[in-house]
Chains A and B, each alone.
Chain A
Amino acid sequence: MKPVLADKYTRNVTTVDYITASVADRTQLSTLVSEFNDLLPLPPRFCHLKRVKSTNIENKKKYYILMVPFKQLPAGVSLFTCVKHLLPSLPIEITKCLGDITVVKVPDYIPLTSMQYTYAKNLWPTVYSHNPKIEKQLSKNPFSATELLRMKEYMRSALQLANNARLNGALPVASVIVDPVKKQILAGQHHSVDSCLDHSIMRCIQDIAKLQKPIVTGSKRTIDDSDNLNISNSSEYYLCTGLEVYTTQEPCVMCSMALVHARISKVFYGMANIEMGGLGSVYNIHYQEGINHHFDVYKGFLEQDSIQLFQK
């Protein structure tokens, strides 16, 4: 099981070449930093970088200060002439404090995870935007053993419904919607046999809706295999706020967006839906920019079981 996160959280740290000057005299450091901040302010996209890096080699402290991105060095200016060129107004006594001019690799973006930060800070000191929620999702065990046991039960209920679907001649795909606080399955459905739009998630969301309104005679639909499930009959729910979906296959684009409309909180799925999946395969609707509701998605949960249903 793996979280489906935006690339910015999972990518490796990329680097950019930056020109730096070494500073031998520590006492000049603060003057240098304020001069540099005035004369060579860091471009906004590099504001995550600290101005100065200190190294400690064989008990000898050495300091390096950022000048400009290597790419911004004008044509015809070399590393040897760049101080004179970039900082013509710098007082001579301060210029004298600057030692070797070298090019170093610095992290291109602000690190968003501890993994990125560990790597990035070795390159150059940087600000780090810590996000406990993302950190938990990325951790080795985002769920406790007890939680995981219960989650597997939910997924097995979905797998069983999917197997029923297969026996009924429908696609072997099914979902359950769970109230994680009450630890209760509220709806469970598989893909329908005849209508192409009656996907398991749409049917589950519709079942949750029925919990929210007084039962209208004549429009009641029985829930498939309801004897396997503990169906609650309360009306305390607002859409699917706070609820979780366990589904054997990644929801299609339609169902993914239905889950946005339903304000779902978490989705766990088995196999990917490469052709039409909306939570990782074709789109990432759960963190799509511009859409006002985001939710957590985990893929590959009991994946082999969900794939096997298609091979039977």
Chain B
Amino acid sequence: MAESMPKEHWMWKALELAKQGLDEGEVPVGCVLVKDDKILVSAHNEVGMTKDPTRHAELVALDLLRANLDKACKFRELLSTCTLYVTLEPCVMCSAALRMMGVRKVVYGFSNTRFGGCGSVLDVHSKQFQYSYSSDEQHKPNLTVSRELEVVSGLLGKEALGLLQQFYAQQNPNAPNPAKRVRLTCNELFNEKL
């Protein structure tokens, strides 16, 4: 079955997750993993709550899905048919994870000029890796990382940025000139919590 819903539908879902993260005091980045018009898993950034800098929305989602899947289920095979909708361009770490797991496609909102791995800082999405996965016997080596990650950028990017700006404004309630501060820090928004 092909996807029939418009991309925006899924991105709004990801934005909802991001908003939920914002309400919990997290850096507002959210994502949903979609297969055939169905959300398999959704997550938002949890770095603040866990103090764990690896808990970006994408990795939280992949780990959650993995934990809830039947052991026999072929994780990589499943992911090779999925699209990840995420409000912010995946960072280098998450982009590498998506490549290694063989996710087919990522659609993101706002560009991550600080850490982005889908073109902004590094080209992890399209890099030719000679990686073969050998410890996972049930899957053929070279099956996944050899394929590039398809990327669609800028979907509802303004909305994603809006949430990030709100987060930043909350972090600095004493900023002398909030409007100016937010504008100034658009490039500086992406601190270690992202």
Interface residues of A (CB under 8 A from B): 169-171, 191, 193, 195-197, 202, 205-206, 209-210, 212-213, 239, 252-258, 260-263, 274-276, 278, 282-283, 285, 288, 290-293
Q: Is the CB of A291 within 8 A of B53?
A: no
Q: Is the CB of A257 within 8 A of B92?
A: yes
The answer for the CA separation of A202 and B62 in the assembled complex, in Å, is: 14
Which of B52, B100, B129 makes the CB contact (< 8 A) with A196? B100
Stretch of B2-10, B14-22, B31-39, B120-128 lying at the A interface: B120-128
19 A-B pairs in the complex with CB atoms less than 8 angstroms apart:
A171-B135, A191-B135, A196-B136, A197-B97, A210-B52, A213-B51, A252-B96, A253-B93, A254-B92, A254-B94, A254-B100, A257-B92, A260-B93, A263-B192, A276-B131, A278-B92, A285-B122, A291-B115, A292-B114
**Interface size bucket, B side?**
35 or more
B99-119 interface bits toward A, Cβ cutoff 8 Å, 1 = contact, 0 = none: 111000000000001110100
Total A-B residue contacts, Cβ distance less than 8 Å:
107
The answer for the CA separation of A274 and B127 in the assembled complex, in Å, is: 13
The answer for the CA separation of A171 and B117 in the assembled complex, in Å, is: 26
> B residues within 8 A CB of A290?
113-114, 121
Known: A196-B76, A260-B115. 8 other contacts (CB 8 A): A196-B100, A196-B101, A197-B66, A212-B51, A254-B94, A258-B53, A261-B93, A276-B145
Contact of A202 with B50 at beta-carbon distance under 8 Å, contacts A197-B101, A261-B192 already known = no
> A residues within 8 A CB of B51?
209, 212-213, 239
Interface residues of B (CB under 8 A from A): 50-54, 59, 62-63, 66, 75-76, 91-97, 99-101, 113-115, 117, 121-122, 124, 127, 129-136, 145, 192
> B residues within 8 A CB of A256?
92-93
Q: Is the CB of A205 within 8 A of B92?
A: no
Q: Is the CB of B93 within 8 A of A258?
A: yes
Q: Is the CB of A276 within 8 A of B100?
A: yes
The answer for the CA separation of A216 and B107 in the assembled complex, in Å, is: 34
Contact of A254 with B97 at beta-carbon distance under 8 Å, contacts A196-B76, A205-B54, A209-B52 already known = yes
Q: Is the CB of B121 within 8 A of A291?
A: yes
The answer for the CA separation of A191 and B87 in the assembled complex, in Å, is: 30
Q: Is the CB of A254 within 8 A of B130?
A: no
Which of A195, A197, A210, A262 makes the CB contact (< 8 A) with B53? A262
Q: Is the CB of B52 within 8 A of A254?
A: no
> A residues within 8 A CB of B97?
197, 254
The answer for the CA separation of A274 and B128 in the assembled complex, in Å, is: 12
> B residues within 8 A CB of A274?
130
> A residues within 8 A CB of B53?
205, 209, 239, 258, 261-263
Q: Which residue of B lies closest to A289 (CB)?
A: B121
Q: Is the CB of B92 within 8 A of A253?
A: yes
> B residues within 8 A CB of A257?
91-93, 96, 115, 117
Q: Which residue of B lies closest to A170 (CB)?
A: B135
The minimal Cβ–Cβ distance linking A219 to chain B, given in whole angstroms, is 9
> B residues within 8 A CB of A170?
135
The minimal Cβ–Cβ distance linking A94 to chain B, given in whole angstroms, is 51
Q: Which residue of B lies closest to A254 (CB)?
A: B96
The minimal Cβ–Cβ distance linking A175 to chain B, given in whole angstroms, is 14
Q: Which residue of B lies closest to A274 (CB)?
A: B130
Q: Is the CB of B59 within 8 A of A288?
A: no
Q: Is the CB of B52 within 8 A of A288?
A: no
Contact of A288 with B50 at beta-carbon distance under 8 Å, contacts A252-B96, A254-B100, A261-B192 already known = no
The answer for the CA separation of A147 and B145 in the assembled complex, in Å, is: 39
Contact of A197 with B121 at beta-carbon distance under 8 Å, contacts A191-B135, A257-B115, A258-B93 already known = no
The answer for the CA separation of A212 and B129 in the assembled complex, in Å, is: 35
The minimal Cβ–Cβ distance linking B94 to chain A, given in whole angstroms, is 8
Contact of A288 with B121 at beta-carbon distance under 8 Å, contacts A254-B93, A258-B53 already known = yes
Which of B54, B62, B75, B95 makes the CB contact (< 8 A) with A261? B54
> A residues within 8 A CB of B92?
253-254, 256-257, 260, 278, 285, 291
